[in-house]
Amino acid sequence: MNASEAAVQNGAAEAKSAAAAAAAGGVRAWPAILIGALALAIWWLLCSANWLPEYVFPSPQSVARAFAEDMRSGRLFDDAVVSFYRVTLGFGLAVALGVPAGLLLGTRLIVREGLLPAVNFFRSLSPLAWIPFAILWFGIGDAPAVFLIFMASFFPLVLALSGAVATVPKVYFQVGAEYGYRGARALWYVTLPAILPQLITALRVGAGLAWLVVVAAEMVAGREGLGFAIWDARNGLRIDLLVCRMITIGCIGITIDLALLQLTRLNCVRWGYER
Amino acid sequence: MDDQIATLTPDLPAAGHLPLISARGVCHAYGAFPVLRELRLEVAPGEFLAVVGPSGCGKSTLLSLMAGTRQPGSGSLLRRAATRMVYQQDGLFPWLTTAENIALGLDPQAGPAARARCLDEMLELVRLADFRHHYPHQLSGGMRRRVELARVLAGPADLLLMDEPFSALDYQTRRRMHRELQSMLASYPRAVVLVTHDIEEAALLADRILLLSDRPATVRSEFHLPAGRSRAIGDREVLEVVARIHAELAL
Ligand SMILES: Nc1ncnc2c1ncn2[C@@H]1O[C@H](COP(=O)(O)OP(=O)(O)OP(=O)(O)O)[C@@H](O)[C@H]1O
Ligand SMILES: [Mg+2]
């Protein structure tokens, strides 16, 4: 009997160390680095073959030169800061309003019945459709971009959260009530931790959307920012700069997601990803 | 602080020899769907009562009435006990560690030092001291059940309501849990109402077994066992009661 007990505990210890390995960054970097190097090599080979002229398909060398130029002038950095600022503001606003709204929709049936169709409606509406209004209402600059980012990320966030809240197992609330968590305390100590894994996933999706939208918004309603920089490079027929700015946008997007991914390493949410 | 102990508060003050629960003519229905009918039962202080009945007959409903989380449709049900529930589904919070889950059950009135001491004691009792910082998903099914038992035993409740606590476990683990429950109750005596499908389990652990009828459930028959909890599965009185229940159910 003691032996089987020990086996049970060993099993748990093993499960734990596997989980720890995954949490400590079980994903290896070299396969991705290898693919990246391979892609770069193919790009370089295609350009060396001289099938297409430089101004249609720039070579890695010219993009690297453009990158150096853009860095030296400080333009790339300034544009990235502007875009990042707009995303932070627009997405921050969406989170600040979307989390309470999602909790409300999830916990109050009547609110859900009343508002879910509207939330679904706006979620299905491409944020780009709001561009005319964004310019009419807010002109050019930070405000229209922030507005568009908000419209893009608020509704999916509300939808994901209300769904998460509505599917929290009933037994958690029974246990919570038994140990004194009612009303606002239940919301804080039961509902919120129970949906935290899904909340983090929704934040990652939302941040990705926000970063997508900022580029589009700046292309039509900006005088600065990475989106405007893309448009500017096109107008100046600087395809090398265009590619360099596209690469920057992609890299910042990956970095934002990696940063949010760190939240999934929190001990109190691991359970949500290990089933 | 008041709602902190809301479910711990009995309807009536405890009075040594009086039954912890007395239910008379209790009926309950979900809408037009009758579940319990004319149910009459008592739970004495310190008693271990097992309730056996077919699936869906209303056993979980009966426990929620005893816990006071549901009011009976008609009839009277008096509670003189503070109760704690072990739920049929996994009732641990997955975002809390073993120690934090058990700490939920600690007496909210006790001081921090007393609470810390009681927590350590409970972790020792269920032999999970090495797993205090583990999360439920890192524990086996049997270990999770032990955490739940520690949580209900940690507090001042004098009646534990257990809803098929071991039914999801494999045979060996279940048998081990039976023995552990017996020894836990020896060190921390509590009255228990155990709902189970397992007739052997009931005969092994309980002082008294109530057999419920099909839904709408009422008490169909009652079996007594000599008091004292260190029975083994092969004991004559256990085998005898199991045989009588089998006969009654025409199995
Ligand atoms: N909240 C509810 N609303 C409506 N009907 C319910 C509810 N809870 C239970 N029931 C019904 O009441 C009956 C009894 O349910 P209960 O959970 O008490 O049965 P049980 O004896 O515990 O069953 P099991 O042994 O399968 O756990 C079932 O038929 C069930 O469908
Ligand atoms: Mg049940």
Q: Residue B175: left (phi > 0), alpha (psi -120 to 50), or beta? A: alpha
Q: What is d(CA B68, CA B80) in angstroms, rounded to the nearest whole number?
A: 11
Nearest ligand, CA of residue B69? 1
Residues sharing a CB contact under 8 Å with residue B209, sequence separation 6 or more, in sequence order = B49, B50, B51, B52, B202, B203, B222, B223, B225, B241, B245
A81 to A74, A87, A224, A252: CA distances (angstroms): 11, 10, 10, 11
DSSP state for residue B217 in the 8-state scheme? B
* Domain coordinates in residue numbering, chain A: 27-57, 62-273
B23-62 pLDDT per residue, tens: 999 999 998 899 999 999 999 999 999 999 988 999 999 9
CB of A58 less than 8 A from some CB of B: no
Nearest ligand, CA of residue B215? 1
Q: Which of B28, B57, B69, B87 to mutate to test ligand 1, by most ligand atoms within 8 A of the CB atom?
A: B57
Q: CATH code for A62-273?
A: 1.10.3720.10
Give pLDDT, residue B14: 66
Give pLDDT, residue A6: 44
A200-209 pLDDT per residue, tens: 999 999 999 9
Q: What is d(CA A238, CA A186) in angstroms, rounded to the nearest whole number?
A: 57
In chain A the first and final C-alpha atoms are separated, in Å, by 29
pTM of the model: 0.84
CB of A271 less than 8 A from some CB of B: yes
Choose the mutation target among B83, B95, B137 for the interface with A, i.e. most A CBs under 10 Å. B95
**Sheet strands side by side (includes B191-196):** B83-86, B159-163, B191-196, B48-52, B208-212, B219-224
At B191, the pLDDT band (50, 70, 90 cuts) reads very high
Nearest to B246 by CA among B206, B217, B209: B209
Interface of A with B in 117-176 (CB under 8 A): 169, 171-172, 174-175
B162-182 pLDDT per residue, tens: 999 998 888 988 888 898 899
Nearest to B208 by CA among B224, B219, B193, B228: B224
Angle between helices A30-48 and A60-73 (to 10 degrees): 110
Q: Among A1, A175, A182, whose Cβ lies nearest the Cβ of B93?
A: A175
pLDDT at B183 over 50: yes
Give pLDDT, residue B199: 92
Give pLDDT, residue A5: 44
**What are the two backbone dihedrals, phi and then psi, of residue B93, each rounded to the nearest 5 degrees?**
-80, 120
pLDDT at B208 over 60: yes
Among all residues of chain A, which has the CA nearest to that of B175? Answer: A1
Give pLDDT, residue B135: 96
Q: pLDDT exceeding 70 applies to what percent of chain A? A: 90
CB of A184 less than 8 A from some CB of B: no
State the average pLDDT over residues B211-230: 86
Min Cα separation B224/chain A (Å) = 31
B85: chain A residues, CB-CB within 8 Å? 174, 178
Q: Among B95, B108, B136, whose Cβ lies nearest the Cβ of A180?
A: B108
Give pLDDT, residue B227: 76
Instruction: Report the alpha-carbon angle A217-A219-A222, nearest 5.
Output: 75
A271: chain B residues, CB-CB within 8 Å? 94-95, 135-137
Q: Among A16, A171, A180, whose Cβ lies nearest the Cβ of B87?
A: A171
At B226, the pLDDT band (50, 70, 90 cuts) reads confident
Residues in chain A with pLDDT values less than 70? 1-26, 275
State the average pLDDT over residues B123-130: 92
> Exposed (0-12), middle (13-18) or buried (19+): which is A43, by Cβ within 10 Å?
middle
State the average pLDDT over residues B66-88: 91
Give pLDDT, residue A275: 64
Nearest ligand, CA of residue B29? 1
